[in-house]
Amino acid sequence: MTTSLAVALLVGTAACGNAGSTPSSDATAPSASASEQGGAVTIKTFAFDPDPATVPAGTTVTWANEDEILHTVTSGERDEADGTFDKQLDGPGSVAEHTFDTPGTYAYHCSIHPGMDGVVEVS
């Protein structure tokens, strides 16, 4: 009977130990700015996040594709690509980078998917 009691106490203690714990991430927390993420932009569900990405001059912005399909990160407005960068991200886990040295507002888009447009604001 002592063994049964010990097992019951261990199971009860383990269950109680998790009852008041909080999750490691807060699902309702707002997205961090690209500056807070070290210049990181995620491509997921046909969208760039954060948008706009706000970073200080000299920051290398990294786009990471989490979608299962090909995307591009192409500089300039959709109808006026400016040739500064044009990176292809082949699928999940692929990344592209560009360093923004001069303050300003920089438009970019996915040249494959209409509506996938983003902005990098450099201060």
Enter the CATH code of domain 33-122. Answer: 2.60.40.420
Q: What is the pLDDT of residue 38?
A: 73
Exposure on the CB side of residue 55, measured as CA atoms within 13 A: 24
Q: Is the pTM of this model over 0.85?
A: no
Sheet with 53-55, side-by-side order of all strands: 53-55, 117-122, 104-109, 71-77, 80-89
Beta strands in 1-123 (DSSP E): 40-43, 48-49, 53-55, 59-65, 71-77, 80-89, 95-100, 104-109, 117-122
Domain boundaries, the chain: 33-122
Q: What is the pLDDT of residue 37?
A: 59
Tens of pLDDT along the chain (123 residues)?
A: 443 433 333 333 333 333 333 333 333 334 445 555 579 999 999 999 999 999 999 999 999 999 999 999 999 999 999 999 999 999 999 999 999 999 999 999 999 999 999 999 999
